[in-house]
């Protein structure tokens, strides 16, 4: 399949394939040999296996957002599989202690830490949660990494100040 596709080419490919599907055509043979680079723009060829198609995609394709986790969340198998293969989306799961957890847990290391096995101490679980979340953000959202770290540090300071405040009900 297509890997390491230039960003502008990938964006053009997304628009072209969505337009083809919106025009009522399913290609059925999306592969490298059928996608040409014409002046840095994708040109899709070989519609010999194509069929009429009422695309059931019901969510927009947004690059760099978490992938739909199921075909039923997206609605179109051909586009879902192709866009997953060319890494249009970031992962919809985060790996935490040898298990895959929903990506929503990556936004809150404390919630992710609650998924740790019972034999892990809360401190170990939280430390590992921060480690995997930082690694995930660094790998999949490098442009937002510095802002994310600053926000995470601010959230941690707020948590620390509320947990260290004196008890008002003395």
Which pLDDT tens digit goes with each residue over 60-108? 999 988 899 877 889 999 999 999 999 899 999 999 999 999 998 988 8
Predicted model pTM: 0.73
Residue 3: pLDDT above 80? no
Confirm whether 168 is domain-assigned: no
Q: Check whether residue 19 and residue 39 sit in a common domain.
A: yes
What is the span of the domain harbouring residue 153? Answer: 93-163
DSSP helix/strand/coil, 18: helix
- Of 34, 58, 85, the residue that ends a domain is 85
Domain total in the chain: 2
Residues 6+ apart with CB under 8 A from 76: 21, 55, 56, 57
Confirm whether 22 is domain-assigned: yes
Predicted local distance difference test score (pLDDT) of residue 170: 45
The tokens describing 166, both together, are 């004196």
What are the backbone dihedrals phi and psi of residue 104, each rounded to the nearest 5 degrees, phi first?
Answer: -55, -30
| CATH code for the domain in which residue 11 is found | 1.10.510
Residues 107, 148: Cα–Cα separation, whole Å: 10
Residues 6+ apart with CB under 8 A from 109: 126, 129, 130, 133, 152
């Amino acid at each position: 399949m297509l890997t390491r596709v230039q960003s502008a080419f990938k964006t053009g490919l997304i628009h072209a394939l969505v337009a083809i599907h919106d025009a009522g055509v399913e290609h059925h043979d999306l592969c490298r040999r059928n996608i040409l680079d014409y002046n840095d723009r994708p040109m899709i060829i070989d519609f010999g296996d194509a069929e009429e198609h009422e695309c059931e995609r019901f969510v927009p394709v947004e690059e760099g957002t978490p992938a739909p986790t199921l075909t039923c969340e997206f609605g179109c198998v051909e586009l879902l599989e192709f866009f997953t293969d060319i890494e249009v989306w970031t992962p919809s799961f985060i790996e935490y202690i040898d298990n895959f957890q929903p990506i929503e847990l990556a936004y809150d290391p404390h919630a992710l830490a609650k998924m740790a096995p019972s034999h892990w101490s809360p401190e170990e679980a939280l430390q590992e949660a921060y480690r995997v979340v930082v690694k995930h953000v660094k790998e999949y959202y490098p442009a937002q990494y510095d802002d994310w770290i600053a926000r995470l540090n601010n959230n941690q300071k707020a948590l620390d100040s509320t947990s260290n405040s004196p008890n008002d009900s003395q």
